[in-house]
Structures are given as structure tokens and as C-alpha cells.
Amino acid sequence: MAFYQAPRWQKPVALIGLVALCLLPGLLQALDQSFYIGFATRVLIFALAASSLNLVLGFGGMVSLGHAAFLGAGAYTAALCQQAGINEALIALPLAMAAAGLFAALVGLISLRTRGVYFIMITLAFAQMAYYLFVSARSWGGDDGLPLQGRMTLAGHALADDQTLYFAALGALTVAMLLFARLAQARFGRTVQAIRENETRMAALGYPVFRYRLVTFALGGAVAGLAGALLANLTGLASPNLLQWTQSGTLLVMVIIGGVGSLFGGVAGAAVLLGLEEVLVGVTEHWHLLLGGLLLAIVLFAPKGIAALFARRGAAS
């Protein structure tokens, strides 16, 4: 393992990608395919969620199987904000991040004292616990979830407009990726990577290892909460199904397909998985079989995921 270093082609490619994404809604409208703006927004939101998991998993080396709980926490916070009369996204979104981040910190406080298989199962169990909590909470919608009465406004702009929500999601994703890229090369990033490689050594060098892991875990949770709040706006519902472990599994699959630990792994994985879903659904109603087969193939033959396939062709490591 070498320290993360952005390959030379990353900045130009990312810039081109960003420009393309900015032009996409206009293009879709021109092609009379405005329906797909919603789909694209969904991809952006899951790219954000998957990237937040990538921080915890790929970067921090913590295999968390309960990350969807933080996605759900963000969604519910957004819905509850609206119930409380807060319709301004500039307040609701940070609140969602704070709530999800706090929840993640609490889960991390207990889970991070364990390792390996235990850690994986405990994060899973906590997420499931949160799921049951929301399902049983009748005042929060229970089984059916908590609906949003229309979308929020972002500094005056109504997110009810599909294009506005799209750009809000794009903005959130861009800022997050920028932050992750800087963080990876800063002191925090080096420390977290070194801890992932050899935590005893880092403790022997005076680093409070637990603290760094906890911060990484909480940060990942907070960003997932942001994605959740955006998702609630998109779908109009904060559903307890968002917290189910199958949702966590989906996020995990996205990260693995996209490339664990590479900066854009979450983005690539979300795009591929959701795109695949869209395509396969048209092919057969039993597309889960195909997806399962594909995942097995990836595990057995391309273990580092898609982004790594590109990295091999790319710059120095």
C-alpha cells in the first residue's frame, strides 16, 4: 500500500465529467427525455452515499455493513424537519448531517472496540435495530414511512423543480469529492491509511487510533445523512426500508464494483449498479439472478473492482 496519490489524469477527467454532468439536464430536456433527470439525480445521490461508505471502508479499512442506517437517519431528519415547519434545505441538510453523524458516532463508540467479523456483524445489528425502531414508531409513520409534503427550498430555489434538485445533488457530490480528495492527502488521510495498514504500529508511534477511526466512521455517516436527506426530497418519503441491511448491502456492492479505496469508486459503482438495474429490468423480471451472477463473477475474477481496472492502465502507484 502506498499513500493515496491522485493520478495525474484525475483532475482533467473529473473536470470534464463535472462539465458533462452540468450539461446533462439541458441535453435530456432537448431530447425530450426529462424523465431521466430524476434517474440521474438518484444516481448522484447514491454516488454520494456510496462515496461516504468508501471513506469508511476503502480508506479507513472498516467493513461496515450498517451504513444504510445513516442514510435513513438523514432521510428521517429531513422529513421530521419539514414536520416541524423547517422547509429550508440550507437548515435541514446540515441538520440531517449532524443527526446522522451523531448516530454514527454512537454506533462507532461501541462497534469500534471490536474487530474483523465481530465488527461487521455488530454494525449490521445496529442498523437493523434502527430499522426496527423506525418501523415500530407509529408517530413517525411506522411501516409506511414518513412522507414529505412536497420538496424543500434551497435558498429560495424550489427543489420541487427537478433540475434544481439535480444541481443541488451535483453540488453536494462535487463538494464532498473535493473534500475527500484533499482529506486523503492531508495529515488525517495519511494517518487513517497507515492505521488501516498497521494499527499497532501507529499506536506505538503515539497515535490515538480509536479516535481516528471514530472520526472517519462519523464523517462517513454524516455524508450519508446528507445523501439521505436529498433522497427523501427526491422520493418524497422517508422509508424505514432505507435502513434495511439489504440497502447497506447494496451500498457495499456499489463500492466494491466501483473499486474499494479509489477516490471515485463510490461514484463509478453507483453509476454502474443503478445503470445496470435500469437496463436489466427491461431484459427480464428475474434480473436479480443476473446481478447475483455478475457479482459472483466480480468476486472471483475482478476482485478490486472497476475503478482499479482503470487505475492499472493509469498513472503511477
Residues 287-316 binding other proteins (CB under 8 A) are 288-289, 291-296, 298-300, 303
Least distance in angstroms from the C-beta of 232 to other proteins: 21
- Dihedral (CA of 114, 120, 124, 127) sign: positive
42 vs 40: CA distance, rounded Å: 5
Task: Between 24 and 215, name the residue whose CB sits nearer to other proteins.
Answer: 215
Q: Could you say which residues in the range 126-165 bind other proteins, by CB under 8 A?
A: 126, 128-129, 132-133, 135-139
One of 286, 301, 313, 316 touching other proteins (CB under 8 A): 286
Shortest Å, Cβ 153 to other proteins = 30
SS3 per-residue string spanning 75-127: HHHHHHHHHCCCCEHHHHHHHHHHHHHHHHHHHHHHHCCCCHHHHHHHHHHHH
CA distance 101 to 71: 10
C-alpha cell at 179: 473534500
Q: Which is nearer to other proteins, 15 or 137 (CB)?
A: 137
Among 18, 183, 276, 280, interactor with other proteins by CB under 8 A: 183
Measured from the CB atom, the residue of 24 and 63 that comes closer to other proteins is 63
Which cell goes with 304? Answer: 478490486
Q: How far is the CB of 303 from other proteins (least distance, A)?
A: 6
* Cβ nearer to other proteins, comparing 71 with 256: 256
User: Does residue 191 belong to the site contacting other proteins (CB under 8 A)?
Assistant: yes
- Beta bridge partners, 158, equal 153
Distances, alpha carbon 305 to alpha carbons 82, 252, 265, in Å:
39, 12, 8
Q: Looking at residue 88, what DSSP letter applies?
A: B
Q: Within its chain, how far is the Cα of 284 from the centroid?
A: 28
Q: In the complex with other proteins, which residue's Cβ is closer, 230 or 255?
A: 255
Considering only residues 83-122, where is the footprint of other proteins by CB under 8 A?
110, 113-114, 116-118, 120-122
The answer to the question of residue 11 lying near other proteins (CB under 8 A) is no
Q: Rounded to the nearest whole angstrom, what is the least distance from the CB of residue 51 to other proteins in the complex?
A: 16
Number of residues that bind other proteins (CB under 8 A): 72
Candidates 78-86, 89-97, 252-260, 262-270; binding stretch for other proteins (CB under 8 A): 252-260
3-state secondary structure of 157: strand
Quote the least distance from Cβ 16 to other proteins, whole Å: 23
Q: Which is nearer to other proteins, 187 or 313 (CB)?
A: 187
Q: Which helix (H) or strand (E) holds 237?
A: strand 237-238
Q: What is the per-residue burial (b if ≥16 Cβ within 10 Å, else e) of 188-210?
A: ebebbbbbbeebeebeeeebebe
Looking at the Cβ atoms of 116 and 156, the one nearer to other proteins is: 116
Span of 47-55, 190-198, 228-236, 263-271 interacting with other proteins by CB under 8 A: 190-198
Tell me if 195 sits within 8 A of 204, measured CB to CB: no
Q: Give the interface segment with other proteins, choosing from 20-28, 77-85, 155-163, 201-209 (CB under 8 A).
A: 201-209
Considering only CA atoms, which of 144, 192, 260 is closest in space to residue 3? 192
Q: Which 22-81 residues touch other proteins, going by CB under 8 A?
A: 57, 63, 65
User: What gap in Å lies between CA 42 and CA 29, rounded to an integer?
Assistant: 17
What type of residue sits at position 160?
A: A
Least distance to other proteins from the beta carbon of 152, Å?
27
1 interacts with other proteins by CB under 8 A: yes
**312: helix, strand or coil:** helix
Q: 157 has which bridge partners?
A: 154
What is the grid cell recorded at 207?
497515535
Nearer to other proteins, 231 or 254 (CB): 254
